[in-house]
Amino acid sequence: MQIAIRQFRTHAEYKACVALQQETWGAVFTEMVPPSILLVSQKIGGVAAGAFDEHDRLIGFVFGLTGVKNGRLVHWSDMLAVRPEARDLGIGKRLKLYQRELVQALGVETIYWTYDPLVARNAHLNLNRLGVEVEEYVPDMYDSDSQSDLHRGLALDRFVVAWHISSDKPSKETEDTSAKARERFKDAGIINPHGQCATLSENSAFVHARMRIEIPPDIQAVKESSLETAMQWQASVRQACLFYLDHGYRVAGFYRDPENGRCFYGVEK
């Protein structure tokens, strides 16, 4: 499949982006970005770009806004989506790299965004393919009444991540760090095996230099099978992330165990 990545240029392309938002998050999703904002954002340093196939059909897009944080120019990447049939082709990564190229030209050194810590596919892209740093875990970051099909049933907890793109902090996009993470954390204790909540304290058996936080391989499949089980997974991950990040640990890796398919974040101090 031949894929072209570029900024949206026509009213039809802006409308196609809105249609893809509806296909991704549901027709009644209340956080939709309309064509007018997509267009205006490009005029003030924002990014509204798409991935187009050989038939000029939109198969993915990225949207973000540029602003100022602590006196520095930064970019917030607000949306990224790829059609299901076009996933696992590296399109999400290519869209992010294109976004980086555009905002680097403006002098931006850091791109921020959020993602759901329970989504293994996104954890792999962000930590292993792009090399982002997790800054914080925010419970209920977004209003759960967004009416999104993807969001329904669980609180919208998110990792806030930073992608440092300045020349003195080279990107890791040329390597996949999952194998290194597995080697580094394979013997570390598991805080929440199979989504079970643990009793955590500073004096507990869970306070070691390296630990693992487990997430399900496919949270959507879990949610469709049992919302109660999905909620248990979220509660255990929320508890673990808040505890360890609050006690000076950092998220240092993510991997899927090739032997059993289980997925883990590695945290270390």
The tens digit of pLDDT for each residue in 202-250 reads: 666 677 899 999 999 999 999 999 999 999 999 999 999 999 999 999 9
Q: pLDDT tens digits, residue range 177-207?
A: 899 999 999 999 999 999 999 877 766 667 7
Is pLDDT at 2 greater than 80 in this prediction?
yes
Q: pLDDT tens digits, residue range 109-162?
A: 999 999 999 999 999 999 999 999 999 999 999 877 655 666 678 999 999 999
Residue 148: the pLDDT is: 62
User: What contacts 27, CB < 8 A, 6 or more positions away?
Assistant: none
**Please, are residues 81 and 61 in contact by the beta-carbon 8 Å criterion?**
yes
Q: Among 3.30.70.2860, 1.10.10.10, 1.10.10.2840, 3.40.630.30, name the CATH number for the domain at 4-164.
A: 3.40.630.30
Residues paired with 250 in a beta bridge = 268
The CA distance from 57 to 41, in Å, is: 22
CA distances from 233 to 211, 217, 240 (A): 17, 11, 11
Name the maximum alpha-carbon separation found in the chain: 60
Domain ranges of the chain: 4-164, 178-268
pTM above 0.85, yes or no: yes
pLDDT above 90 covers a percentage of the chain that reads 83
